[in-house]
Amino acid sequence: MPSPSRIIVATAVVGVLLAAAVSRADDAADIRASARAFSQALSKGDTKTVRKYAFTDEAGGKFLDAVATQTGARKKLVDAAVDKFGPDGKTIDSQRSAVSDLAEIDKQLEGSRIVVNGDAATVTSNNGKPLKFKRDGGIWKIDFRETFNSRLTQQIDQVVGVLNKRAGAMEKTAAEIKEGKYKTVDEAKTGLFQNIAAAIGVPRRGGQRQGNNNQS
């Protein structure tokens, strides 16, 4: 029969292991909750909440602000198109991009493997791309420091400028849809393309640029 001291030690070890397992489960649940909160905030254009669940530097923060602005504008665009054209309005802007992937970052955690190491965590999603998290101030945040590399930092003003111009074009198109400018969703798609082209300055034949060029 085991001695009382061995029973006490064994019980203590089991207790520590169970506590660690519960802690890891809690961390995994908190990480998924943070990803969900981040995605929801991004899709609504809520820059304050997006920043809350993102761990990044100043340049990355500017980029996320612009992304949130664009996704918020896209939501207004899609809502206006659906109100006007019905379910087909959802196709008004069906082009996928890195911005679209950011807004659905919570879905990447579905069925994923989460490894927690202290205040850092790595999530391996179904598509095989690892996602980093960092616990900061008691909150698990998506760690974008490796995502926003030096190349993006050097071009941040240009990238942010394009995203904000696209957002403006989307909001303009949404207003035009509400005003009844377009009779079909295809006409609205063409209008969106033209508004974006005019906003960011798409080159025309002959070297001229389509955009808001003020001539004296």
pLDDT digits (tens, 9 = 90+) for 121-168: 998 876 667 888 999 999 999 998 766 655 566 788 888 999 999 999
Q: How is the chain split into domains, by residue range?
A: 4-202
CA distances, 216 to each of 204, 206, 213 (Å): 21, 21, 10
Average pLDDT rounded to a whole number, residues 87-110:
75
Whether the Cβ atoms of residue 106 and residue 83 lie closer than 8 Å to each other:
no
The string of pLDDT tens digits covering residues 35-67 is 889 988 988 889 999 999 999 888 888 888 998
Q: Who has greater pLDDT, 12 or 38? A: 38
Q: Who has greater pLDDT, 150 or 200? A: 200
Rounded Cα distance between 47 and 61, Å, is: 9
In this prediction the pTM is 0.71
What pLDDT, on the 0 to 100 scale, is given for residue 149?
Answer: 58
Percent of the chain clearing pLDDT 70 (strictly above): 73
Whether the Cβ atoms of residue 67 and residue 132 lie closer than 8 Å to each other:
no
Whether the Cβ atoms of residue 102 and residue 112 lie closer than 8 Å to each other:
no
pLDDT tops 90 at residue 180: yes
